[in-house]
Structure 1
Amino acid sequence: MENLEAVKAVQRMQDYIESHLESKITLSDLARAAGYSQWHCARIFKALMGKTPFEYIRALRLSKAAILLRDEKPKIIDVAFDFVFDSHEGFTRAFSKQFGIPPKKYSCNPEPIELFMPQRILEYYNMLKRGDIKMSENTNAKNTRTVFVQVVQRPKRKILLKRAVSAKDYFEYCNEVGCDMWGILCSVKEAIHEPAGMWLPKGLITPGTSEYAQGVEVPADYSGKVPEGFDIIELEPCKMMVFQGEPFEDEDFMDAIEELRDVIAKYDPKIYGFEWADDEAPRYQLEPQGYRGYIEARPVREINR
């Protein structure tokens, strides 16, 4: 891993790309944003991101275009020009190469595809530095913080998910499967909610697969394509107790996870007439996003009195 200054420089380039994605971007622009020479910027970007700046920009533009085609059905030519492609034909070739399906066909009948959803490099850097810390190991929250708790009713539904072999948490899952499942899950048009990491109850774990998986909920009548290597399973209606922590700085996401999990471990749902029902449904964790706080949801059932 490069030093922190290089990581911050690449992060500045990522931020510039995100805010100028629908405009022409040159290496000179990225160099000014990063504060280094063009040659040095190109080198550290490729080293840290695994793509040249322009491979990264193209993959990101195509993924943003795919979401637009999936949700809004615009004209292909308009999307091509919006994302700085010179022609309808050039966009169609690039889209087909990236996703294995022409944009027109995809717009008419969206199917799960592997969107390019890059992680902020500064977050990844901090995760690597602290990757030996398990989410459940630190049970002493540093400060008393507010946690919002609510119970929600979940209807009958299905989950489209990708299993691992023996993973028990996010880090082990990434080691076994990779950290790129989010792109496919986010492309599912019929998704009821955002993708989630999940701990499956024993009844939903198939032999030779893991407790921890990643997936997305879809309606009970979902009949769309199941990507290769994925499973789809049915879930009965249930109640979920949702825990949401306070907003946090992005680099502090591990602390936010540990603090909330400490609260959940000590929480007694019987106070409100419930008990844990981990055998009835998966337990979820949503992607840590600082602006909203870290969120986990655990199944519960009412206690008969």
Structure 2
Amino acid sequence: MESTAGRASAETLLGGTEIRALAAELDLTPTKRWGQNFVVDANTVRRIVRTADVAGLDVVEVGPGLGSLTLGLTEAGARVAAVEIDPRLAELLPRTVARKQPDARLSVVHHDALTLKELPFPPQAVVANLPYNVSVPVLIHLLERFDSIERVLVMVQAEVGHRLAAQPGSKTYGSPSAKVAWWGPWSLEGDVSRQIFWPVPNVDSVLVGFRRGPSMGSESLRRRTFTVIDGAFGQRRKMLRQALSGLYGSSAAATEVLERAGVDPTLRGEALGLAEFIRIAEAGDPSAEARPSAQ
């Protein structure tokens, strides 16, 4: 016999049949352009919400789609600002949520998350099934724009998730790994089967997230540090003294900066953690006008 809790969950969340019916109502075919793969498994939604631990918090969700995860978040008591780029989905979502959960606290923002400047409230957390094609740029933009964010849990392509959580020296460590560490330590928080999506993607997914750590410094320092990171990984096969020569005018000038920072000029960017990149940015401002490169 089905339990009362089971019936309640079925009534307040979306299942695969309902999701396909909603898509048919809109004559919607999921598009790769906007990275649309909709979650059709309520158990996975519950697991994500439980892992996110955002009950009662103010949450921003990017790419809510037809509302699977949105309903899981509102059911848990979160106040949600759902940012949706597709106008059809942005119009349908509040009706779906009102029908399933009349008391849900939801604001729908029809906007491109990459250029988002404001929300109805300062978000404390980001929880989302992020579009695979823009997941890293969206995360960095949100963290740059909203300093109220203390917690992130996102579902992303496995390759992207491993890169975000990578440590210096690993094969997957790169510019995104070093940059997102500015806001706190990232970790993998679960695997996700590709079978819980419609349509089924041709890649695996993971849950990856962080909780905000201590401040690393000013906004000006962050920007300088990110410039150094971009320079170091823009030519990742080269030693730092060469890779950063364009920022500081020459290999000799870059070497001077690296030595002041206590960083071996013969290392490559993949060997450095965020702390070393910060020291380089403090030792020499890469935003200053560089002299012509003379390697």
Tell me if TM exceeds 0.5. no
Give the TM-score normalised by the residue count of structure 2. Answer: 0.31
Give the TM-score normalised by the residue count of structure 1. Answer: 0.30
Larger RCO (CA within 8 A; separation ≥ 6): 1
